[in-house]
Amino acid sequence: MLLTRKQTCQLGILLSIHRQHSKIDQILIHQQIELLEVLTGFETNNKYEIKNSFGQRVYFAAEDTDCCTRNCCGPSRPFTLRIIDNMGREVITLERPLRCNSCCCPCCLQEIEIQAPPGVPVGYVIQTWHPCLPKFTIQNERREDVLKISGPCVVCSCCGDVDFEIKSLDEQCVVGKISKHWTGILKEAFTDADNFGIQFPLDLDVKMKAVMMGACFLIDFMFFESTGSQEQKSGVW
């Protein structure tokens, strides 16, 4: 059976994702500092470098939202995040819809869809309502629960890392973690450029590894993104 040009492109992207993810158990995500944002407080599109454990860049990620959405909705904004490989191909797309941002409302909570390649959903990260703790459920492409994520009661990176544990469905076994790394008092005080590390089992399905990146970006926007004079969030909301 002959493949169409689109199918051939998607197959190539899938093979690229598999090569990049199948032999790694750690990903580093470094947000770039935007000078305009530092000087004016005017929110710009977030940009990130995604590296392997050796510090080699494997992907570049860029937010795609309009100016009005960024500066009116702030950290709660819906966004599309495009992840591009070193050959310039968009290999993963993250879609975050506009959702409720209050602990008093257990419906319409935060979520993000992960597509790899773009247009093909491979998983979802769904916020789970809890009065005290930040909790999320990792789902596969069929919306079946696969893993859980649980964060600390107080989410504040003051002179130390903040860890969100990746757990089994019964939450009895920790299989990995998403860590927001402390970057120093000056960078933390004057920018919202954050560094993250993701650790997961080497044999975890490559699709789920992509979903973990989506979880990391959602956590960044929910808890560590600030706009203008708005302070970094601490606590669950």
Write out the residue range of the structural domain in which residue 162 sits. 20-224
In this structure, what token pair is assigned to residue 109?
A: 């909570």
> Which whole-number Å values give the CA distances from 122 to 118, 148, 193, 211, in the listed order?
10, 16, 28, 7
Average pLDDT of the segment spanning 220-229: 74
Stated as kind and residue range, the H or E segment containing 214 is helix 206-219
The pLDDT tens digits for 118-159 are 999 999 999 998 888 899 999 999 999 999 999 998 776 666
Position 5 in a domain: no
Region 70-81: mean pLDDT is: 87
More confident residue, 79 or 16: 79
CB 66, CB 237: distance < 8 Å:
no
For 163-193, how does the pLDDT look when each residue is reduced to its tens digit (9 = 90+)?
Answer: 999 999 999 999 999 999 876 665 555 455 6
User: Is residue 231 assigned to a domain?
Assistant: no
Dist. CA 52–CA 100, nearest whole Å: 34
Q: Is the pLDDT of residue 3 over 60?
A: no
pTM across the whole model: 0.83
Give the N- to C-terminal CA distance of the chain in Å, as an integer.
52
* Distance (Å, whole) CA 11 – CA 3: 10
pLDDT of residue 229: 44
User: Does residue 234 have a pLDDT over 50?
Assistant: no
Predicted local distance difference test score (pLDDT) of residue 105: 64
CA–CA dist 50, 210 (Å, integer): 12
Residue at 26 is within a domain: yes
Count the domains in the chain.
1
Q: What average pLDDT does the segment 86-105 reach?
A: 84
Does residue 137 fall inside a structural domain?
yes
* Pairwise CA distance, residues 160 & 214, whole Å: 23
Residue 188 has what pLDDT? 54
Is 14 a member of any domain? no
Give the pLDDT band (50/70/90) at residue 63. Answer: very high
What is residue 117's three-state secondary structure? coil
Cα 163 to chain centroid distance, Å, stands at: 14
What mean pLDDT is predicted for residues 50-60? 91
| Assigned domain for 72 exists | yes
Question: Taking every pair of C-alpha atoms in the chain, what is the biggest distance, in angstroms?
Answer: 58
- Whether 74 maps to a domain, the answer reads yes
CATH number, position 153: 3.20.90
The CA-atom distances, in angstroms, between 181 and each of 51, 86, 149, 178, 220 are 15, 25, 17, 10, 11
- What would the 3-class secondary structure string for 145-210 be? EEEEEECCCCCCCCCCCEEEEEECCCCCCEEEEEEEECCCHHHHHHCCCCEEEEECCCCCCHHHHH
**Is residue 215 in a domain?**
yes
Buried b (16+ CB within 10 A) or exposed e, 140-151: bbeeeebbbbbb
